[in-house]
Amino acid sequence: MRSIAFLLTILAVATAQAADKKLNVLFIAVDDLRPELGCYGTPIIKSPNIDAIAAKGLVFDRAYCQQAVCSPTRSSLLTGRRPDSTKVYDLVTHFRKALPDVVTLPQSFKNAGWHTQSFGKIYHGGYDDPVSWTEPAWFPSAKASAKETALIEEDGEFGDLQFVSFLQNQKAQQKRKQADGPNIERDPKTGLILKGARPARGPKGVAFEASDKSDSELADGKIADAAIETLRRIKDKPFFLAVGFMKPHLPFIAPKKYFDLYDPNAIPMAKSKSLPVGAPSYAGNNSGELRGYTNIPDGDEPISDDLARQLKHAYYAATSYMDAQVGRVVAELDALGLRDNTVIILWGDHGWKLGDHGLWCKHCNWEPDTHCALVMSVPGQKTAGQHTSALVEYVDIYPTLCDVCGITPAAGLEGTSFAPLLKDPKRAWKTAAFSQYPRAKKMGYSMRTERYRYIEWQEEGKAVDRELYDYQTDPDETVSVAGKPEHAALVEKLSKQLNAGWQAAKP
């Protein structure tokens, strides 16, 4: 009898331990990644390692970011709030300016007892959030990535978006301190820059290059190396490891072997080569982020098909290079026996135009800018290898990870956990996903529904321009039909839906 009681006690303890077992999170961010990967059914870009995560997880076919440029999308995702709440619409504002006490996604994990640490680009360069991390954020050194310095530069459009140096070594910090002028606003307690300004900047280098360096001599390889080393060190405690890869962000520099994966003559050109007919001219971007590189013609000079092909080739190579680094980190999880207890989520911070609409880069409200790559795998997932076409938003990632890992999320989140989709990818879900992008005094509010994209450009709260795309009849978004009399009732209906906002679109 005594031995049975003893056994029961052991069982009870084991069960309690299992229930207490905290799932780790490997949180992989990728800069400027298009949802154009093997797992998205577009096998031209070779991404075997992301595809392997997808094979054990769920692919989100319709995931949308809330604003298609680095800091706004990252601030939104990591605080679980939309740009109208973070007030981060540019690259020089910290979300703690508007939300000083917000509890970020990694901070939620830290507060619940997880070890949280970041490698590479998670928050936008210069706007890290030290309180999010158990140990200070890790960045590749300035020296290591000297040639890639330009990769930190994320030019905004229309002069109102600016960049701040990403490199956070002491020298750069010191220089920045010296450079503090009347336009720099710091939190007096923490020294955090709440509002920055563009520092003086040297010229950019080339936009792309097949490098003779090895994987680990370039920044993403170093980021993978550091993440792997840390995994080995922290493997016995629950962790939230954020690994932010910097490619395929410009400049498209990758070891030559990744260029050799592609036949440049087999690279297709963009399907839509001009601005959508009927869209206001300011809805587009000026591709300025690309134009600044030395081997790209200035201003309005056209990008020839030959140059476009070279750029696409290099983007593909940079993507494959990044994918290989993702594979190395995941392989380490396997080698350490951690995979069965680790959630993996990989997200591109927004889309990217490779000549789509005759434009390059991001910064718009359209499909090529706002549609993102998102895959997630959870231990024991029954829907491994499946896709969901449910509309999900990047503000949903915060509550989802909390949900899956049993953490009570902070109050005030503006997304919905999509954990139910991991079990049932075909279930009914949100009726719309929302994005936005400012242009001077106008704010373009963009709404994607199952069939349409409706964009309303508002100034002082009033609609001044509208765009409407019907993906059923025009999958490449070539014509805005908002002005057609036969669509007046539809425009009115969609405008009501857009103005009812995200709360009315919840599942």
- 167 near Ca ion, rule: CB under 5 A: no
Q: How many residues bind Ca ion (CB under 5 A)?
A: 4
Cα–Cα distances in Å, from 69 out to 79, 86, 452?
16, 14, 22
Spot the catalytic one: 39, 65, 70, 402: 70
Q: Which is nearer to Ca ion, 67 or 211 (CB)?
A: 67
Question: Which residue blocks in 125-193 are alpha helix, DSSP H?
Answer: 170-179
Instruction: Let me know if 124 is a catalytic residue.
Output: yes
Catalytic residue among 94, 124, 387, 487: 124
Q: How far is the CB of 488 from Ca ion (least distance, A)?
A: 37
Joined tokens for residue 270: 């963009």
Q: Which is nearer to Ca ion, 31 or 153 (CB)?
A: 31
Q: How far is the CB of 69 from Ca ion (least distance, A)?
A: 7
Which of 29, 32, 356, 407 forms a contact with Ca ion (CB under 5 A)? 32
Kindly identify the residues of this chain, within the stretch 185-224, that bind Ca ion according to CB under 5 A: none
The question of whether 405 is a catalytic residue gets the answer no
Nearer to Ca ion, 250 or 421 (CB): 250
Q: Per CB under 5 A, which region of 62-70, 103-111, 297-305, 368-376 contacts Ca ion?
A: 62-70
Min CB(129)–Ca ion separation in Å? 17
Tally Cβ neighbours within 10 Å of residue 199: 16
User: Smallest distance, Å, CB 334 to Ca ion?
Assistant: 28
Shortest spacing between CB 31 and Ca ion, in angstroms: 4
Of 357 and 362, which has the nearer Cβ to Ca ion? 362
Residue (of 119, 10, 153, 129) closest to 75 by Cα position: 129
* 446 vs 82: CA distance, rounded Å: 13
Question: Are 238 and 113 contacting, i.e. CB atoms less than 8 angstroms apart?
Answer: yes
> CB under 5 A: which stretch of 28-36, 107-115, 144-152, 155-163 binds Ca ion?
28-36
DSSP 242-294: EEEE-TTSSSEEEEHHHHTTS-GGGPPPPS--SPPBTS-GGGS---HHHHTST
Which CB, 70 or 364, lies closer to Ca ion? 70
**Least distance in angstroms from the C-beta of 500 to Ca ion:** 30
Minimum CB distance to Ca ion, residue 349 (Å): 4
| CA distance linking residue 45 with residue 48, whole number of Å | 9
From 260, 251, 176, 173, select the one nearest 219 (Cα to Cα): 251
Q: Specify the stretch interacting with Ca ion by CB under 5 A; choose among 120-128, 349-357, 427-435, 446-454.
A: 349-357
Q: Nearest 5°: CA angle at 59, between 434 and 78?
A: 50
467 is a contact residue toward Ca ion (CB under 5 A): no
- Rounded Cα–Cα distance for residues 318 and 259 (Å): 8
Q: Does 369 bind Ca ion (CB under 5 A)?
A: no
Tell whether residue 349 is a contact of Ca ion (CB under 5 A): yes
- Rg of the chain in Å (alpha carbons): 23
Closer of 31 and 128 to Ca ion (Cβ): 31
| Cα angle 476-481-485, degrees, rounded to a multiple of 5 | 160
| Contacts of Ca ion in 63-92 (CB under 5 A) | 70
Buried b (16+ CB within 10 A) or exposed e, 450-463: eebbbbbbbeeeee
Binders of Ca ion in range 422-461 (CB under 5 A): none
Kind and range of the H or E run holding 444: strand 442-448
Which residues on neighbouring strands pair with residue 378, listed in sequence order? Answer: none
Q: Which is nearer to Ca ion, 70 or 275 (CB)?
A: 70
Q: Which is nearer to Ca ion, 247 or 487 (CB)?
A: 247
CB-CB contact of 328 with 226 (8 Å): no
CB of 453: closest distance to Ca ion in angstroms? 21
Query: Which residue lies nearest Ca ion, judged by its C-beta?
Result: 70
Does 31 bind Ca ion (CB under 5 A)? Our answer is yes
Judge contact between 117 and 105, C-beta under 8 A. Answer: no
Q: Which residues are catalytic?
A: 70, 124
Catalog residues that contact Ca ion under the rule CB under 5 A: 31-32, 70, 349
